[in-house]
Structure 1
């Protein structure tokens, strides 16, 4: 859309973190100062922290590093990389193109207008604050073989963040990354296909990097940024390239060994291992001690009746 083109050009002008007058910006974009003001308001609605000082102009609160395909592809081989700054959903973009793109195709965005999480929840996606990445993967072994894939993707992300300097990254069954008992990232795996045929998987992730408290007000759970877990946060282009490479490697490994080959690695990262939790399954609540996962990806919960695996539901610390 034309308005997106204008706003993206405006963002690039402001990305250096310096002041830019409305008059200068208007001249650069060929629009009036009033139109600049209108677009600035729209960018603030996208989650960008832009402020105005009389006599100096507009300025981003912090310098902004934009995603760049060339920088990413200089670090990793990718069968197909789409960078769409403003999108409804990176997952939906790939789902709409299943069969048209090669396995391993990736979609990145700066801002999602309709990002979604597990169980149809909205995924808050402010512009340039986080990392929104989806990968398409064709699994020839079929839909049944995809059981537990989100768990393996979680391991890949945790491995990546740890290798880049983050400390004490943890996993929450079945699809979240945690730091200090707060949500750092979420994973959404969606699948299409028919029984007896290959499974077409779209694996999406949203990683909090430097989201403002204001933007996080709408989140209904405790959350945290990578900047809190990592003393020197790598650039988002480095993060994207490293995640793409690690996902490619771990998905190939998953095809060879299945989930059984990752159980011990999951348990090493498990944020809730040997802790009292409650499992929510619809209206039902089961309390017990989390004992890791089994070879099918089920949560092992110890109660007075013994240890029982559960496939569905959500967990939280008991009392939370």
Structure 2
């Protein structure tokens, strides 16, 4: 594993948003100005917006609040919290430790080198701009009980964001959060286990918080930030604590009521409810009117043939 200690110390020094000379940074870290320059290039490749002005030194484009375990644990109880600033994937970190984790174990990162979304797609994860959070959960009722879990998590996150002032957050079947028809967050639920045994779930979320246009230039769809949806955005540590708390409470509730207890809440938040949509199933395109979800978490699509449920597989929903 690569040691990022010096680079992370450099980020912490620059996080105040002020100018720091290469000489001063080098003296503080015990390295040369040339080494500072190399580290700056690496940090820029992570997505940090660092610029240099002759005679003044290096500065971030704006102040950066770094995630902090002590600040998080002061706001939320957590059975296990791993904050790993630079990681391949928060989901993978927990998946690799299934069987060793307590219920509700959480992994957070500032930057994911191999963040992933559904169907193996890359999840763009610039340093410090967003939230990358995964939680482990065990369902003793087995894999079948996990049906529709990404929908439940979507409801939990949307309601949590609404509680902090982002009132117009919506959900998109099966695993996204939207604001004004633009993607705000994605959810990835990964599961291991055997038939007849408990299901081990890792629930991952990537939430765009303050990503710049440049950082998000490679995203192949319309996207937005929480800063656009919430006029008084809380600090990132408070935001993370709020989401962890809501996830834990929602998963406990889900174990008691199942998906039936969330259908009405989903439909209230559904970005495409009663709107014309295109459903992409491989090369096939089905057009109709979205009519919410059923008790199995299937999308209900109304066409000339009536209302048909669709679930699983290579299915993607788009607005017309």
| Secondary structure of 2:200's aligned partner | strand
Q: Which runs of 4+ in 1 moved over 2 A?
A: none
| Secondary structure of 1:184's aligned partner | strand
Q: Which residue of 1 aligns with 2:227?
A: 227
Tell me whether 1:192 sits opposite 2:192 in the alignment.
Answer: yes
| Secondary structure of 1:272's aligned partner | coil
User: How big is the shift at 1:283?
Assistant: 1.1
Q: Which residue of 2 aligns with 1:302?
A: 302
The one-character-per-residue Cα deviations of 1:192-212 (angstroms, maximum 9, x if unpaired) are 000000000000000000001
Q: Which residue of 1 aligns with 2:118?
A: 118
RMSD in angstroms over aligned alpha carbons? 0.7
Q: Which residue of 1 aligns with 2:66?
A: 66
Q: Which residue of 1 aligns with 2:319?
A: 317
Q: Which residue of 1 aligns with 2:251?
A: 251
- Residues 269-308 of structure 1: pairs in structure 2 closer than 5 A: 269-308=269-308
- Residues 97-246 of structure 1: pairs in structure 2 closer than 5 A: 97-246=97-246
Distance 1:131 1:49 in 2: 17
Q: Which residue of 1 aligns with 2:4?
A: 4
Structure 2 spans left out of the alignment, 5+ residues:
none
Distance 2:230 2:24 in 1: 37
| Secondary structure of 2:216's aligned partner | helix
| Secondary structure of 2:217's aligned partner | helix
Distance 1:235 1:174 in 2: 28
The one-character-per-residue Cα deviations of 1:167-186 (angstroms, maximum 9, x if unpaired) are 21000000000000000000
Distance 1:167 1:224 in 2: 15
User: How big is the shift at 1:224?
Assistant: 0.0
| Secondary structure of 1:8's aligned partner | helix
Q: Which residue of 2 aligns with 1:77?
A: 77
| Secondary structure of 2:291's aligned partner | strand
| Secondary structure of 1:217's aligned partner | coil
Distance 1:197 1:145 in 2: 11
Distance 1:128 1:5 in 2: 16
The one-character-per-residue Cα deviations of 1:31-69 (angstroms, maximum 9, x if unpaired) are 100010010011000000001011100000000000001
Distance 1:38 1:234, change over 3 A: same
Q: Which residue of 2 aligns with 1:16?
A: 16
Tell me whether 1:57 sits opposite 2:57 in the alignment.
Answer: yes
| Secondary structure of 2:43's aligned partner | helix
Q: Which residue of 2 aligns with 1:41?
A: 41
| Secondary structure of 1:115's aligned partner | coil
User: How big is the shift at 1:2?
Assistant: 5.8
| Secondary structure of 1:215's aligned partner | coil
TM-score normalized by the length of structure 1? 0.99
| Secondary structure of 1:39's aligned partner | helix
- Report the count of equivalent residues: 318
Distance 1:101 1:240 in 2: 20
Distance 2:46 2:233 in 1: 23
Distance 2:95 2:280 in 1: 29
Distance 1:5 1:71 in 2: 20
Distance 2:155 2:57 in 1: 45
| Secondary structure of 1:134's aligned partner | strand
